[in-house]
């Protein structure tokens, strides 16, 4: 049976199956049972083709738009451009100066000429009655008028189908139609021969059986459709950071309106069409729309952002212009069916088994009909009356045929694959209640077979609430866990050192200190950024005033390759200064000077470097995440188009950030190990910190190996085959390292590998590796999409 399934259905995978394999699969399954029901919650191949055609059209449109805008920009400077656009009366009456269709044509067509005619981004913001700094007003009347004119950021969804639609679908089953014909013939012949009601007993019995099957099937399918609707609602709970009324806040993407100011960072999906306001090093991955893998640089010259694309690098503020079905992503979504995923591995096997059983049942139904009818046909043949049939003989033959058809109906377990789909959906919903977001049903199905778990550290094994607890500044190590200790440290440091430290933390950050409506400050950003900003505030720093003192002219955001973040500041007295922070050993290696306890700058000799490296190791040995902060004075003639220098920095200090292990993690790891599941830690953190946390969790044992990503990359294939089974901790790893580890475990050692990640720290770089299983760790929000 297994070999037969592999031979006939082997081309159908849980993901990335070829269209030819899926079409062949549907043809084979449709022989026996109702394909309309069987493939309701799987990929709609016709709609998929339409979506591909739209992607191709988008690609061509964007290519032409970019070429046209480049050509237009060469001669529009200095020309007197006139607008023939007339604002519709209803838009004027609502207090706006531009309609939704005009906004859509500007962004979708990358129409630089129209954008300039309307006054650029500033002009669009003014016509939308919004502010680029304070965002929209939250006045209810204003929001309602904006929704009426521009719509809401929701896609048109298929209506909830009524119970009777499912009844109609169930009636389209081939075998039920055959039985219905049998029932009709039986009623006609029976009533004609024996009269009413005696002659209708058999026919009405078949009708009752058909109705019972249809209504039970329809009720099951209807409940299942409602379950999937609830599931979709849970999966769509996505929030973004938005500025409204001058306050930065979290908002559902479905509440966005044209005129909103949205803050985007690495890993975010653009939630609506819009225009670039400000930002640094912004690269957008438009492959979801255009199919092009090369990222597009978005800046003031090319300010167009399309919904559905992803931020690959950098950060920005975006002015929302078009929402909902008017966006390119909305038009693409309109072609996709409700259930777009391919069959899961278990569904493929169960459908295959159902098909085989159906074919066997069909064979035996034919045999049964022949055996039951051969006596009657033999008798008629010997009597020479093959063409002459009485009513009783016709009823007898019809009864034999009904029995044969019933065998087919009973033999095919059509409800089994659908029942599996329903149970997976329930499992998915239950995991969501445990804060485990499952993106694909296949993960729920195969998680019980996992033999290896590769877990991220920050936010998954740890609490994800970081705080600076130790700092080495000017060569002195101080405990700083608490405002009093921080104030004491501040009083002991030279003023110039404190000033430089605060300048580094407040400017070289992806986070922000904002004030809410109650006047209380709130820190937004990743846990690491939050910890550093809390530390700077405890030192007595003022985020806004420190930001106002200097001007940020260039930013290179943190990513998993560089392991550091850098900015260049324009100083109030003239000149420029670069600040850098990141993985301690990497940033320290870029330094050639350090600040002593008097605030003086000295060359970084080997003795001092060894001392600082020893401090980093001691911090890491205490399970602290370490960050090094450094700065560099920039020479005259540096252009902001150049890359920020990677060497020549002055070390300001090293901070140690504590992220405690979650309660119950050690027990969860022990449970997994007792069940024969190997738990491995795969993190971007320092190897000593990773080893300390791994030992605390019970992951790293005496037989296990801890290795860094760069060292792992240099190993040959033969070395990897010996090394991979023993790896329990991989530190300083890139997404490629994680993917390589999973690939070797899956293909070479036949492991079913689950990878967990919380998506809040370095996870924006983990798109390809964000696959896996929640380990029952209470309180963590684990992202799950696939299991290999």
Q: What is the CATH architecture of 467-658? A: 3-Layer(aba) Sandwich (3.40)
Do the Cβ atoms of 617 and 610 come closer than 8 Å?
A: no
Selected catalytic residue, list 456, 659, 737, 758:
456
Residues 6+ apart with CB under 8 A from 287: 293
| pLDDT for position 659 | 77
Number of H helices, E strands in the chain: 29, 25
**In Å, what is the CA distance from 706 to each residue of 70, 658, 695?**
51, 21, 11
pLDDT in tens, 189-247: 667 666 787 777 777 877 887 787 778 777 767 776 776 666 566 656 677 888 888 88
Q: Please answer whether residues 467 and 658 qualify as being in contact, where contact means their C-beta atoms are separated by less than 8 angstroms.
A: yes
Residue with tokens 């969804």: 157
Strand partners, 479: 470
Q: Read off the pLDDT of residues 455-486 as tens digits, 9 standing for 90 and up.
A: 888 777 877 678 888 888 888 888 887 677 77
Q: Which residue has the tokens 């990513």?
A: 559
DSSP string, 470-492: EEEETTEEEE--SHHHHHHHHHH
- Look at residue 651 in the predicted model and tell me its pLDDT: 92
Chain centroid, CA 549 distance in Å: 38
Q: Which of 341 and 783 is assigned the larger pLDDT?
A: 341
In order of 64, 111, 117, 452, the CA distances from 71 in angstroms are 11, 11, 16, 55
Percent of the chain at pLDDT > 90 equals 6
- H/E run at residue 369: helix 345-383
What is the pLDDT, as a whole number, of residue 366?
86
Computed over every residue of the chain, the mean pLDDT equals 76
Label residue 526 exposed, middle or buried (CB < 10 Å: 0-12, 13-18, 19+): buried
Pick 395 or 6 by higher pLDDT. Answer: 395
For residues 53 and 260, which has the higher predicted lDDT (pLDDT)? 260
pLDDT at 649: 92
What's the first-to-final CA gap in the chain, in angstroms? Answer: 24
Instruction: Give the tens place of pLDDT for each residue, 491-539.
Output: 888 888 889 999 999 988 877 787 766 667 777 777 788 888 888 888 8
> Residue 294: which H helix or E strand, with range?
none
Whether the CB-CB separation of 369 and 400 falls below 8 Å is answered with yes
259's CB contacts (< 8 A; 6+ apart) are 125, 128, 129, 130, 135, 136, 146, 319, 320
755 and 769 Cβ atoms separated by less than 8 Å = yes
Residue 64 has pLDDT above 90, yes or no: no
Q: Residue 764: name the closest of 458, 547, 530 by CA.
A: 458
Full-model pTM:
0.54
User: For the purposes of burial, counting CB atoms within 10 Å of the CB of 251, is it exposed (0-12), middle (13-18) or buried (19 or more)?
Assistant: middle
Fold of 52-152+256-336: 2.70.150
Tell which residue, 107, 115, 648, 45, has the closest CA to residue 336: 45
H/E element holding 496? helix 495-507
Map residue 709 onto helix, strand or coil: helix
Q: Select from 368, 393, 392, 367 the least CA-distant residue to 379.
A: 393
Return the pLDDT at 729. 92
pLDDT (0 to 100) of residue 781: 41
**622 three-state secondary structure:** coil
Q: Which of 166, 159, 158 is nearest to 222 (CA)?
A: 166
pLDDT band of residue 334 (cuts 50, 70, 90) is low
User: Is residue 2 predicted with pLDDT exceeding 60?
Assistant: no
Produce one character per residue of 710-745: b if its CB has 16 or more CB atoms within 10 Å, e if not: eebeeeeeeeeeebbbebbbbbbbbbbbbbbbbebb
Task: Give yes or no for residue 39 having a pLDDT over 70.
Answer: no
778 versus 180: which is more confidently predicted? 180
Residue 409 in tokens: 């109906």
Instruction: Give whole-number Cα distances, 135 to 256, 280, 319, in Å.
Output: 11, 20, 9
SS3 (DSSP) at 436: strand
456 is catalytic: yes
Name which residue leads in pLDDT, 485 or 760.
485
For the four alpha carbons of 328, 329, 332 and 334, in that order, the dihedral sign comes to negative
- Residue 58, both tokens: 């988008």
Annotated domain spans of the chain = 1-43+154-237+340-435, 52-152+256-336, 448-462+662-774, 467-658
* Dist CA 205 CA 440 (whole Å): 43
Q: In whole angstroms, what is the distance from residue 150 CA to residue 154 CA? A: 12
| CA neighbor of 683 nearest in space, from 356, 350, 364, 458 | 458
DSSP H helices, 647-752, are: 665-674, 687-697, 709-714, 717-723, 735-747
Question: In residues, how long is the chain?
Answer: 788
- 84 CB neighbour count, 10 Å cutoff: 5
The residue with greater pLDDT, 314 or 316, is 316
| Spatial CA neighbour of 782 closest among 449, 338, 531, 435 | 435
Contact 749, 724 (CB under 8 A): yes
- Helix/strand/coil for 152: coil
Query: Do residues 515 and 521 touch, judged by C-beta distance below 8 A?
Result: yes
Q: pLDDT digit string (tens) for 240-253?
A: 888 888 888 888 88
CA distances from 35 to 6, 68, 121, 171, 672 (A): 21, 47, 51, 12, 40
The answer on pLDDT for 787 being more than 50 is no
CA distance 678 to 175: 49
pLDDT of residue 332: 59
- Is the pLDDT at 774 greater than 50, yes or no? no
Q: Taking Cα atoms as reference points, which of 220, 257, 232, 229 lies closest to residue 242?
A: 257
Judged against a pLDDT cut of 60, whether residue 73 lies above it is answered with no
The span from the CA of 504 to the CA of 403, in Å, is: 83
Q: Report the alpha-carbon distance of residue 466 to residue 481 in Å, rounded.
A: 11
Q: Higher pLDDT residue, 778 or 24?
A: 24
Tokens of 16: 């990335």
Q: Are 725 and 732 in contact (CB under 8 A)?
A: no
Which residue, chain included where needed, has tokens 């005619």?
117
pLDDT tens, position by position, 629-685: 999 998 887 777 788 888 899 999 999 988 778 888 888 888 888 888 888 998 877
Q: What's the angle, vertex CA 252, arms to CA 467 and CA 439, rounded to 5?
A: 80
How far apart are alpha carbons 228 and 424 in whole angstroms? Answer: 10
Give yes or no for residue 340 having a pLDDT over 90: no
CB atoms within 10 A of CB 341: 15
Q: What pLDDT sits at residue 224?
A: 64
Residues 6+ positions from 68 with CB-CB distance below 8 Å: 110
Cα distance between residue 440 and residue 424, in whole Å: 10
Q: Exposed/middle/buried for 294, CB within 10 Å: 0-12, 13-18, 19+? A: exposed
Give the Cβ contact number of residue 495 at 10 Å: 9
Pick the most confident of 1-5, 162-166, 185-189, 676-680. Answer: 676-680
Q: What is the pLDDT of residue 786?
A: 38
For the domain spanning 448-462+662-774, the CATH number is: 3.40.50.1000
Helical residues (DSSP H) of 12-110, grouped into ranges: 19-29, 35-38, 45-76, 89-93, 100-108
Both tokens of 144, joined, read: 């309602």
Distance CA 63, CA 69 (A): 10
Query: What would the pLDDT profile of 692-706 be if each residue is shown by its tens digit?
Result: 889 888 999 888 999
Cα–Cα nearest to 248, from 69, 432, 60, 512: 512
Return the top range by mean pLDDT from 150-164, 362-376, 694-708, 750-764: 694-708
Percent of the chain with pLDDT over 70: 70
Residue 140 vs residue 226, higher pLDDT:
140
pLDDT digits 0-9 by tens, 399-451: 787 777 777 666 666 556 556 666 766 776 676 666 565 655 666 666 667 78
pLDDT band at 628 (very low <50, low <70, confident <90, very high): very high
pLDDT level of residue 365 (50, 70, 90 thresholds): confident
Which positions ≥6 away from 535 have C-beta within 8 Å?
467, 468, 471, 480, 486, 505, 655
Instruction: Give the helix/strand (H/E) hosting 199.
Output: none
Q: pLDDT tens-digit profile of 542-569?
A: 888 888 888 888 888 776 677 888 999 9
- Secondary-structure breakdown of the chain: helix, strand, coil percentages, each rounded to the nearest 5: 50, 20, 35
């Amino acid at each position: 049976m297994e070999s037969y399934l592999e031979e006939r259905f082997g081309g159908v995978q849980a993901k990335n199956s070829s269209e030819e394999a899926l079409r062949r699969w549907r043809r084979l399954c449709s022989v026996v049972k109702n394909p309309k029901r069987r493939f309701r919650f799987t990929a709609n191949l016709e709609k998929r083709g339409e979506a591909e055609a739209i992607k191709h059209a988008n690609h061509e449109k964007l290519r032409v738009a970019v070429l046209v805008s480049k050509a237009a920009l060469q001669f529009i400077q200095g020309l007197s451009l006139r607008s023939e656009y007339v604002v519709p009366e209803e838009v004027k009456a609502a207090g706006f100066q531009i309609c939704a269709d005009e906004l859509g044509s500007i962004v979708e067509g990358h129409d630089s000429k129209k954008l300039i005619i309307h006054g650029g981004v500033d002009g669009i913001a003014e016509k939308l009655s919004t502010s680029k700094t304070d965002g929209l007003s939250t006045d209810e009347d204003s929001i309602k008028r904006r929704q009426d004119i521009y719509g809401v950021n929701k896609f048109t969804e298929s209506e909830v189908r009524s119970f009777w639609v499912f009844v109609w679908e169930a009636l389209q089953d081939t075998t039920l139609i055959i039985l219905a014909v049998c029932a009709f013939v039986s009623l006609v012949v029976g009533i004609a021969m024996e009269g009413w009601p005696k002659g209708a007993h058999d026919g009405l019995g078949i009708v009752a059986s058909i109705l019972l099957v249809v209504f039970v099937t329809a009720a099951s399918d209807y409940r299942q459709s409602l379950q999937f609707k609830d599931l979709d609602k849970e999966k769509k709970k996505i929030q973004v950071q938005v500025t409204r009324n001058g306050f930065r806040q979290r908002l559902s993407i479905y509440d966005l309106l044209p005129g909103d100011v949205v803050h985007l960072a690495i890993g975010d999906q653009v939630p609506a069409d819009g225009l670039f306001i400000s930002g640094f090093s912004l690269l957008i991955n438009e492959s979801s729309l255009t199919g092009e893998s090369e990222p597009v640089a978005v800046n003031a010259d090319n300010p167009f952002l399309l919904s559905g694309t992803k931020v690959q690098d950098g950060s920005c503020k975006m002015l929302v212009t078009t929402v909902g079905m008017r966006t390119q992503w909305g038009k693409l979504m309109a072609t996709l069916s409700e259930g777009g995923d391919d069959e899961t591995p278990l569904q493929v096997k169960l459908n295959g088994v159902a098909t085989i059983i159906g074919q066997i049942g069909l064979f035996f139904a034919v045999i049964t009909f022949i055996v039951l009818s051969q006596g009657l046909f033999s008798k008629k043949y010997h009597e020479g009356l093959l063409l002459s049939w009485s009513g009783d003989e016709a009823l007898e033959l019809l009864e034999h045929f009904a029995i044969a058809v019933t065998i087919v109906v009973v033999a095919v377990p059509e409800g089994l694959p659908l029942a599996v789909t329903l149970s997976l959906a329930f499992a998915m919903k239950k995991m969501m209640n445990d804060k485990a977001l499952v993106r694909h049903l296949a993960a729920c199905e195969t998680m019980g077979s996992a033999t290896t778990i590769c877990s991220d550290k920050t936010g998954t094994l740890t609490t994800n609430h970081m705080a600076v607890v130790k700092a080495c500044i000017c060569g002195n190590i101080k405990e700083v866990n608490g405002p009093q200790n921080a104030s004491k440290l501040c009083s002991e440091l030279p003023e110039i050192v404190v000033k430089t430290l605060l300048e580094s933390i407040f400017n070289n950050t992806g986070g922000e200190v904002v004030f809410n409506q109650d006047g209380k400050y709130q820190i937004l950003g990743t846990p690491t950024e939050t910890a550093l900003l809390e530390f700077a505030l405890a030192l007595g720093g003022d985020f806004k005033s420190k930001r106002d003192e200097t001007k940020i002219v260039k930013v290179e955001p943190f990513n998993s390759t560089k392991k550091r973040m850098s900015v260049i500041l324009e100083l109030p007295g003239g000149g420029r200064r670069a600040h850098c922070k990141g993985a301690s050993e990497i940033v320290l290696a870029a330094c050639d000077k350090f600040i002593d306890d008097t605030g003086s700058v000295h060359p970084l000799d080997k003795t001092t470097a060894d001392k600082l490296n020893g401090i980093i190791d001691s911090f890491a040995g205490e399970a602290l995440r370490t960050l090094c902060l450094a700065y560099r004075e920039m020479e005259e003639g540096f252009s902001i188009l150049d890359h920020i220098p990677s060497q020549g920095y002055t070390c300001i200090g090293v901070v140690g950030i504590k992220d405690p292990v979650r309660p119950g993690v050690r027990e969860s790891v022990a449970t997994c190990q007792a069940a024969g599941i190997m738990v491995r830690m795969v993190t971007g953190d320092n190897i000593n910190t990773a080893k300390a946390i791994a030992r605390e969790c019970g992951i790293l044992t005496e037989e296990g190996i801890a290795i860094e990503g760069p060292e792992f990359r240099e190993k040959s294939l033969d070395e990897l085959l010996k090394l991979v089974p023993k790896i329990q901790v991989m530190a300083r790893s890139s997404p490629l390292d994680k993917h390589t580890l999973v690939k070797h475990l899956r293909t070479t050692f036949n492991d079913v590998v689950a990878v967990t990640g919380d998506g809040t720290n370095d996870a924006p770089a983990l798109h390809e590796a964000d696959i896996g299983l929640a380990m029952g760790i209470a309180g963590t929000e684990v992202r799950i999409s696939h299991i290999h």
